Structure 1
Amino acid sequence: MVLGNATETSDLDITVLLDATETYRESLTHEGWPVELFVHTESSIRHFVAKDRARRRPTMARLVSTGTPLVEGDAGESLRAECAAAVADGPEPLSAEELTFARYSLTDQLDDLAGGGTAGVVDAVAIDVWRGTAELLLASRGWWSGTGKWLIREVEAMDAARGTSYAPRLHGDLHSAMRGSPDALVALADEVLDQVGGRLWSGFRQVAVIPT
């Protein structure tokens, strides 16, 4: 709600900073309003900020840095500043192995889309191509990613910051694909792929690591 994108079904996220022995989240309802409590220590917050950076999703850092203090005093201000800096720094870059796998995965999805199928199958594959394109777009530009609504919100944020128009293209091209016209979505996926080396299928090899 602080971010200005609340809906009628939005819940209220509250981060509780304590010298606790247990870190947890709990969902409650207060006067008909859904509330989620995230109970943490400073060390647990730093743990999840680092973990989120590795997976390129700024969940914890954004939750803390954009919150409104509800108590007087410092209210964790230094930690909030630390989290804001983490958001500004951005995610870890894709490794060479991660980029290779992302190219391979999206190529595989594009091949499935070209293969067609029932309307339901085409819809499902088009959604996979949409998601894979958005994720590779953000990762290849050093931008945060997300899941569900947060994935497209990150694309919208990147558009606003960099003067691009990928979010409306993704939206329109997905709907066209689900109406039986996938060419624009395929072209957009190829545009993103071409910026990181193009499609990849032949020659891809991934060695399994089996714990001993």
Structure 2
Amino acid sequence: MDALDLAHQLVRELYPDARAAWLGGSVARGDASSTSDLDITVLLDGPPAPMRKSLEHAGWPVELFVHTEKSLRYFADKDQDRRQPTMMRLVGESVVLLDTDGCGARLQQEYLAEVAAGPKPLSVDELDLLRYTITNLIDDLSDASGDVRLAIASVLWQDAARLLLTGAGRWSGTGKGLLREVAAYDGAQAAALMDGVRAEDDRLIVAVDHILADYGGRLFAGFELAAKL
């Protein structure tokens, strides 16, 4: 039995009253690895409360995301706020496993359209805070070595990548998802950042300064951010 059939079987067994279900993630994209899991989102009318559940089924690790329409919208809005479209992609970029009343196809198209539209632009305060944070990390990296340098570099490339992506109206991510987003947007920049993380010289600083240049460069003197109480 293939992954699609297994996912459909699991939904039928665990959630016989489900309105819809979608198989997302790497299996749906077609780039699954030997350690990939089945990312299944299930839509219910009501209880149980929205939940995330991990299990194994027929040799596959499975991540279940159980929602109502209201909770799907709640988490999609949180995706928008953090500019990381996790929930929207799980539903939008998916294979429909179950659709009892048309909501499976409808919500898939709605969230796919939101993914395609991209995130809201950075505000002035958000941009300044990113530039300021990156500037401080560059300063810390300049005289660091060994494990300390590696720890700083691992944070710096991610903040720089988020600036590169969100500044260009692209979605961000975390971990390997962030690297995938950068590589899809600008493979040369992704390679330069990763090369800089591995290097023991100033290559990462050069790569980050190249990204900062499009947004006013480094920022320290004159930076202000009002507290939100």
Above 0.5 in TM-score?
yes
1:10 is aligned to 2:36? yes
Q: 2:164 matched to 1:137?
A: yes
Instruction: State how many pairs are aligned.
Output: 201
| Post-superposition CA distance 1:6-50 (Å, at most 9, x none) | 121111111101102311111111122110111111121122112
CA separation in 2, counterparts of 1:3 and 1:190? 34
Match of 1:105 among 110, 133, 137: 133
Q: Distance in 2 between matches of 1:122 and 1:193?
A: 20
Cα shift at 1:134: 0.7
Secondary structure at 1:165's aligned position in 2? helix
**Residue 53 (structure 1) aligned to one of 80, 100, 104:** 80
CA deviation string 1:106-160 (max 9, x = no partner): 000000011224x01011111122111111101110100001111011112213x
1:85 paired to 2:113: yes
SS at match of 2:226: coil
The residue aligned with 1:35 is 62
For structure 1, the 5+ residue unaligned runs are: none
Once residues 192 and 18 of structure 1 are traced to their aligned partners in structure 2, the CA distance between those partners, rounded to angstroms, is: 44
SS of corresponding position for 1:71:
strand
Q: Which runs of 4+ in 1 moved over 4 A?
A: none
Change beyond 3 A, Cα 1:143–1:20: same
CA–CA distance in 1 between the matches of 2:98 and 2:166? 37
State TM-score, norm by structure 1: 0.90
**Preserved CA contact (<8 Å) 2:166 2:172:** yes
Aligned residue in 1 for 2:218: 199
* C-alpha distance in 1 between matches for 2:103 and 2:78: 23
| Percent of aligned pairs with the same amino acid | 47
C-alpha deviation, 1:75, in angstroms? 5.6
- Give the Cα–Cα distance (whole angstroms) in 1 for the partners of residues 99 and 174 of structure 2: 34
What CA distance in whole angstroms lies between the structure 2 residues aligned with 1:71 and 1:53?
26
**The 10-residue stretch of structure 1 (82-91 or 197-206) with the greater mean CA deviation from structure 2:** 197-206
Report the Cα distance in structure 1 between the residues aligned to 2:59 and 2:203, rounded to whole angstroms.
44
